[in-house]
Chain A
Amino acid sequence: MIELSAEAVTAIMLGGVFVLVMTGFPIAFVIGSVAFFTGFAVFGPTTTFHILYSRFYDLSLNYPYLAVPLFTFMGVILQHSGVTKDLYQSLYEAMGRLRGGLAVVTILFGTILAACLGVIAASVTILTLIALAPMVTRGYDKSLAAGSIVAAGTLGILIPPSIMLVVYAPQAGLSVGQMFMGAVFPGLLLSAFYMLYVIIRCRLNPALGPAIPEDQITPFDAAKFFRLLKSLVPPILLIAAVLGTIFAGIAPPTEAAAVGCFASILLAIAYGKFSWGLMKRASLETMKVSAFVVMIAAMCYAYVGIFMNAGAGDVVAEFILSVPGGKWMSFFVIMAIVFLLGMFIEWIGIVFIVVPIFSPILAALGFNPLWAGMMICINMQMAFQTPPMAMSIFVLKGTAPKELGVTIGDIIWGVIPFILIIMVVLVLCAVFPEIILWLPEKMIGAA
């Protein structure tokens, strides 16, 4: 066993992931191996193996993560039963005159999905399956298309229901309900800014999101309007099935996802699209996506065990307390650290690293805990989109049909503007804390 300072381990573990994912080897194995070798060197085999295995095994049985396969299944059924293609065609015709119209529709649809899905991977998966091919085959810029999907899909983790908020709240001694309320306006604000960004960019550069060529535009008549309405029915029914199940109190989010899958099967039957082939295909696709997503999640979760055991969490805390410049500078440093950690570590890891260390510091600095927690969660939401460890990007890449030729590079370029937008919204929430605090105080009353 090598004697290494906690600072050195922190640097090695964070730097190791950054360097080694660049080899292009599957990132689950890279992240696991960085923890494996660091742990082996510092703590020896027994401790390292036990930590990695017990966390790997534990995460494989994680109940909230079941939303990953379930919402994937729902998305695949939706896609292959053909109903979403109809919807997209109709929406495209309705919004064809608007440059970037499909990307706007994608963001709008992602926002609605966010209100019924609580797992990031699931929203990105559905949006990728439904919206990517229509945009790319209609000449949209791949980066803009991918960026819209990643940003809109990631809203699923912020707009309630949200696994992230459910895990965060008890760790910080906050109310899940208040956090849910607090997330609503920042989430909607983000969504609005995303759409505004797409519209402005496509206005400036029409090639990014072409409108339907003038000669192909036919008047949007009653028949088309009816077709649009008809194509809107299945997704709305499905969202109603999921949201309805949750809001009517029939089932908590994970089971509601199962109910949504069941409803999607019924819809496929009703629309005459049901077949055993469809079932098999949906199941296979679900297995394929959730196996790699959960493998990454499990390896991140394992990694965090080694990270914490090395005292790397304390390194971070000491660093913050040594920063000069008062309350807001410390807050800025905390946000910067969450952002940096978010580049490398999956959000569950950040919650476990950040909350125990930062909550007392933030409270001591006199920040409103709900506001501060929400700021951290909005920030953590960026972690899904910041490379090298960017779950949303990987999911999009893993789910995207190969023939579209969307590369990781395309996606990353597309995501950067959306990350800047999130930063702008964070600044707005800092200047106007009411964006976060108004609704919780209105709905429940300050506690």
Chain B
Amino acid sequence: MSSVRKILKFIDTVSETSGWVAKWFALILVFAGTYEAVSRHFFNAPTEWAYDVLCMAGGTLYLLGASYDYLHESHTRVDMFYNMLPPRGKAFMNVICSLFLFFPLMGIMFYLAFTWAIRAVTIKEVFFNSFWYPPAWPYRTVFAVGLFFLLLQGAANLVRDFYFMVRGETLD
């Protein structure tokens, strides 16, 4: 069990780190947005990069934050009935639901994100909101990585819930 615990801890650390990195993109949003507004209005010098940088920073924030939120139970639930369940009942519900409502969907989304990241490189995909034309592969990659971390965290949650459902005690 100790090796399983180590793996789970490692996955937690990955999600924590992912969130740690993601949060800085909030500051990029603030400063890039302000820079563009000031530069355009007061210096008549709009940037050609702000629009895409803002969009990509936002996407990075959401996607790298997804696993962090899953680790910290921050994805919103309709918990009216869920809260009435005993702890083992909750664990059972989580196991069943994640097998049917999480892994198929997010597994496929990751698979597509992965193939699109590669495709973005091969077709030299660019963003064309402005005439900055930045390459799309970095963001496509972040999108895939974010989903991969989310899947990892989903797996860790599943193992913990399964253990608790069977044993009635936490694995950690």
Q: In the complex, A touching B, CB below 8 Å?
A: yes
List A residues at the B interface (Cβ < 8 Å): 20-30, 32-33, 36-37, 49-50, 52-53, 56-57, 60-63, 65-66, 69-70, 73, 245, 249-251, 254-259, 261-262, 265, 279-280, 282-284, 286-288, 290-292, 294-296, 298, 387-388, 394-395, 397-398, 407-409, 412
Name the residue of chain A whose CB is nearest to the CB of B90.
A24
Q: Is B108's CB within 8 Å of the partner chain A?
A: yes
Of the A-B pairs whose beta carbons lie under 8 Å apart in the complex, a sample of 19, sorted by A's number, is: A24-B97, A26-B75, A27-B77, A29-B97, A29-B105, A49-B112, A53-B108, A57-B143, A62-B55, A63-B51, A63-B55, A66-B58, A245-B37, A254-B54, A259-B33, A287-B22, A287-B23, A287-B64, A294-B62
Question: Which of the residues A30, A56, A257, A412 comes within 8 Å of B33, measured between beta carbons?
Answer: A257
> Are A24 and B78 touching (Cβ within 8 A)?
yes
CA distance in complex: A283, B72 (Å)? 16
Q: Which of A23, A30, A52 contacts B93 (CB 8 A)?
A: A23
Q: How far apart sit A413 and B104, CA to CA, in the bound complex (Å)?
A: 35
B-side interface residues, number (CB < 8 Å): 63
Closest to B32 in A: A258
Partner of B78, one of A287, A292, A387: A387
Residue of B nearest to A249 (CB): B41
Closest 4 CB pairs of A and B: A24-B82, A258-B33, A291-B65, A26-B75
Residue interface bits B63-80, CB-to-A below 8 A is 1, else 0: 111101110101111111
Q: How far is the CB of B29 from chain A (nearest CB, A)?
A: 6
B113 close to A (CB within 8 Å): yes
Query: Contact at A407–B19, with CB atoms within 8 Å?
Result: no
Which B residues are closer than 8 A to A by beta carbons?
A: 19, 22-27, 29-34, 36-37, 40-41, 51, 54-56, 58-59, 61-66, 68-70, 72, 74-83, 85, 90, 93-94, 96-98, 100-102, 104-106, 108-109, 112-113, 116, 139, 143
Taking a contact as CB atoms under 8 Å apart, the answer to whether A61 and B30 are in contact is no
Identify which of B62, B82, B93 contacts A291 (C-beta below 8 A): B62
Q: Contact: A409 with B80, CB < 8 Å?
A: yes
Take A36-B105, A288-B68, A292-B69 as given contacts and tell me if A27 and B62 are in contact as well, using a CB distance cutoff of 8 Å: no
Q: Are A29 and B102 in contact (CB under 8 A)?
A: yes
Residues of B within 8 A of A259 (CB): 33-34, 37
Residue of chain B at shortest CB distance from A262 = B34
CA distance A250 to B30 in the complex (A): 16
Interface majority SS on A: helix, strand, loop or mixed? helix
* Interface residues of chain B: helix, strand, loop or mixed (majority): helix
Complex Cα–Cα for A288 and B73 (A) = 10
Could you say which residues of chain B place their CB within 8 Å of the CB of A28? 75-76
Q: How far is the CB of B22 from chain A (nearest CB, A)?
A: 5
> How far, in angstroms, from A73 to B80 measured CA to CA in the complex?
29
CB of B74 within 8 A of CB of A286, answer no
Instruction: Tell me if B80 and A261 are in contact (CB < 8 A).
Output: no
Tell whether A265 pairs with B30 under 8 Å between CB atoms, given A24-B81, A61-B56: yes
Find chain B residues with CB under 8 A from A27 CB: 75-78
Are B63 and A288 in touch, CB under 8 angstroms? Answer: no
The winner among A37, A61, A69 for most chain B CB atoms within 10 A is A61
**Contact partners of B41 in chain A: CB under 8 A:** 249-251
Known contacts A56-B109, A57-B143; A291/B61 CB under 8 A:
yes
Complex contact A21–B78 (CB within 8 A): yes
Of B19, B59, B64, B70, most buried by chain A (CB within 10 Å of CB) is: B59
Of the candidates B27, B75, B90, B108, which one forms a contact with A295 in the assembled complex, judged by CB atoms under 8 Å apart?
B75
**Contact assessment for B77 and A26 in the assembled complex, using a CB-CB cutoff below 8 Å:** yes
B77 is contacted by which of A25, A258, A265, A282 (Cβ under 8 Å)?
A: A25
Residues of A within 8 A of B70 (CB): 26
- B72: chain A residues at CB < 8 Å are 288
Given contact pairs A56-B109, A57-B143, A63-B54, A26 touches B76 in the complex (Cβ within 8 A): yes
Contact between chains at A255 and B37 (CB < 8 Å): yes
Residues of B near A24 (CB, < 8 A) are: 77-83, 85, 90, 93, 97
Question: Is the beta-carbon distance between A32 and B105 smaller than 8 angstroms?
Answer: yes
For the complex with contacts A25-B98, A290-B58, 18 further pairs of A-B residues with Cβ separation under 8 Å are A21-B78, A23-B101, A30-B101, A32-B109, A53-B113, A61-B58, A63-B54, A65-B58, A66-B29, A256-B37, A261-B29, A284-B23, A286-B61, A295-B69, A296-B76, A397-B79, A408-B78, A409-B80
Q: Are B75 and A292 in contact (CB under 8 A)?
A: yes
Q: How far is the CB of B156 from chain A (nearest CB, A)?
A: 15
Contacts of A255 on B, CB cut-off 8 Å?
A: 33-34, 36-37
Residue among B56, B64, B76, B97 having the largest count of chain A Cβ atoms under 10 Å: B76
Contact B79 A53 (CB under 8 A): no
